[in-house]
Amino acid sequence: MQRENFTSRFGVLMAMAGSAIGLGNMWRFPYMVGEYGGAAFIIIYILCVFLLSLPILLCEFIIGRRSQKNAFGAFKKLAPGTAWKWAGLISLVAPLIIVSYYSVIGGWSIEYFFKACTFGFTDYVTHEELNTMFNDLVSSVWIPIFGHTFFLLITALIVMGGVKGGIERFGKIMMPILFVVVVLIAVRAMTLDGASEGIAYLFKPDFSKLNAEVCAAALGQSFFSLSLGCGTMLTYASYVNKSENIAKSSVSIAVSDLIFALIAGCAIMPAVFAFGLNPQEGPGLVFKTLPFIFSQMPLGSLVAILFFMALLIAALTSSISLFEVGVAYLVEEKGMNRKKSCMLIFMITWITGIFCSLSFGPLSDFKIIGNTIFDFFDKLSANFLMTIGSFIVVMFAGWKMKKSDVMDEFTNGGTIKGNVKSFNFIWFLIRWVAPLTIILIFLSNLFL
């Protein structure tokens, strides 16, 4: 059977940008900015994206497109008969773990979208009441599990439609909608009385807040935001046509992801400051603080509907790419058809996700190295598996693959002159800067 590929440059960009633009931008980036000092964190984050994350993204593009294989099969094909074939295992485990807890947050997004559509936030007068509402939701048993199940089911059905008919079609329709919606929310937030303080928080840096912890957090966020080290970009790259300029595509994805993160920040932080709330709310910022803002804001009910619709779309675009990693492996390495592969990945992540959901309620006292199941999965994937996966990718591209093969893929056989001129600089980043920085990130996650 002929392997599916993306059918257009726009389709490639929307699918890959969709993988990168997810909860990492809509949920994680705003609260990370709030916790780590605003604009100073953003500047370090931008530097990390272009000096470290972009070379890693290029490596995943090179390995994926060169091999035309899934995240496991790619290493086996490019380094036959070597132990490198096992390097792809981490790219299979990480997405399963991430989807398992990601879908729980996706389930919360569904519940909040439903509440927004039924004007449910207007029943709560104070910030404390909305905090209680969120805590009651996540600590209950059946509603979060239903949301988690429904979110995973949507993901599985889209992936079941295939690369062209499911993944690419969804991205081409939903990503433009997502962008327009978030821009509209940002414009509304920045026109609120008192929003200027929030805008200054985002764009006027206070470098006295910079320290090793802030830098490590910015590095980790750049990994999480671009979905690096977990097989998604490598798998998607294997569906990219050989005529595509992978350098241009990688830069477009990184820039799109960065712009979207900044717009998401503009959609949230000005409103937080306008209503005199604490930007250091942490992971609960989107679900605890924003509903209160929407309940107080003129036209807030409409803004709430648009925001939680955007949050749900963003969550889906990323979960689809994570889901596809396991499906591609089962189809290509185990000979299963796409439908059965989707059903198997669904069952694995559904069962594991139930334990993640229950860790806020009945299983809240069950700890793994001092963390709930949900927190353990989050930290394991974001701080360790994605970091190790990224290290494997850059070491393979920079030290195992032949330089001529990497250059051939990067320059499309020498036909893209601009890529030829920039290759030596990119090669230096891949071989030296990226591996050493990843080691520093890993050590900081261990000791900070």
Q: Exposed, middle or buried by CB within 10 Å (0-12, 13-18, 19+), for 217?
A: buried
Phi, psi for 119 (deg, rounded to 5): 55, 40
Question: What are 409-413's contacts with CB under 8 Å, separation 24+?
Answer: 409/61, 409/62, 409/65, 409/66, 409/246, 410/58, 410/62, 410/246, 410/247, 412/242, 412/243, 412/245
The pLDDT of residue 383 is: 79
**H or E element that contains 40:** helix 39-48
Residue 139: predicted pLDDT: 95
CA atoms within 13 A on the CB side of 103: 35
Query: Residue 125 — pLDDT band, cuts 50, 70, 90?
Result: low
Architecture field, domain 9-447: Up-down Bundle (1.20)
Q: State the alpha helices, DSSP H only, in 211-299.
A: 212-225, 232-237, 246-274, 290-296
370 by DSSP, 3-state: which? coil
Residue-wise pLDDT tens digits, 271-291:
889 888 888 777 677 888 888
Mean pLDDT across 427-435: 94
Tokens matching residue 113: 């979208």
Q: Provide DSSP, 298-328.
A: TTHHHHHHHHHHHHHHHHHHHHHHHHHHHHH
For position 433, what pLDDT does the model report?
A: 92
Q: Give the whole-angstrom CA distance, residue 309 versus residue 272.
A: 20
- Listed in order, strand segments (DSSP E) in 130-232 are none
What is the arithmetic mean of pLDDT over 67-72?
95
41 alpha carbon, distance to own chain's centre: 18
- Please give the pLDDT value at position 218: 87
Sort 361 into a burial class: Cβ within 10 Å, 0-12 / 13-18 / 19+: middle
**275 residue type, one letter:** F
Q: What is the pLDDT of residues 71-98, one digit of tens each?
A: 999 999 999 999 998 999 998 999 999 9
pLDDT attached to residue 299: 84
Q: Are 158 and 15 in contact (CB under 8 A)?
A: no
CA distances from 83 to 63, 194, 400 (A): 16, 58, 12
Give the angle 23-26-32 at the CA atoms, nearest 5°. Answer: 95
Q: What does the buried/exposed string (b/e) look like for 40-51 if buried means 16 or more CB atoms within 10 Å of the residue's CB?
A: bbbebbeebbee
At residue 122, does pLDDT exceed 80?
no
Contact (Cβ atoms closer than 8 angstroms) between residue 121 and residue 304 = yes
Q: Is the pLDDT of residue 124 over 70?
A: no
For residue 24, pLDDT over 90 is answered with no
> Residue 115's CB: how many other CB atoms inside 10 A?
20
What's the token pair of residue 73?
């099969």
Q: Enumerate residues 6+ apart whose C-beta is below 8 A from 375.
A: 359
The mean pLDDT value of the chain amounts to: 91
Class of residue 398 by CB neighbours under 10 A (exposed 0-12, middle 13-18, buried 19+): buried
DSSP class per residue in 106-143 = HHHHHHHHHHHHTTGGGG--SHHHHHHHHHHHHHSSHH
Residue 161 phi, psi dihedral angles, 5° rounding: -70, -10
DSSP per residue over 287-301, as a string?
IIIHHHHHHHSTTHH
Q: How many CA atoms lie within 13 A of 77 on its CB side?
A: 15
What pLDDT score does 222 carry?
87
Which pLDDT tens digit goes with each residue over 147-197? 999 999 999 999 999 999 999 999 999 999 999 999 999 999 999 999 999
Residue ranges per structural domain of the chain:
9-447
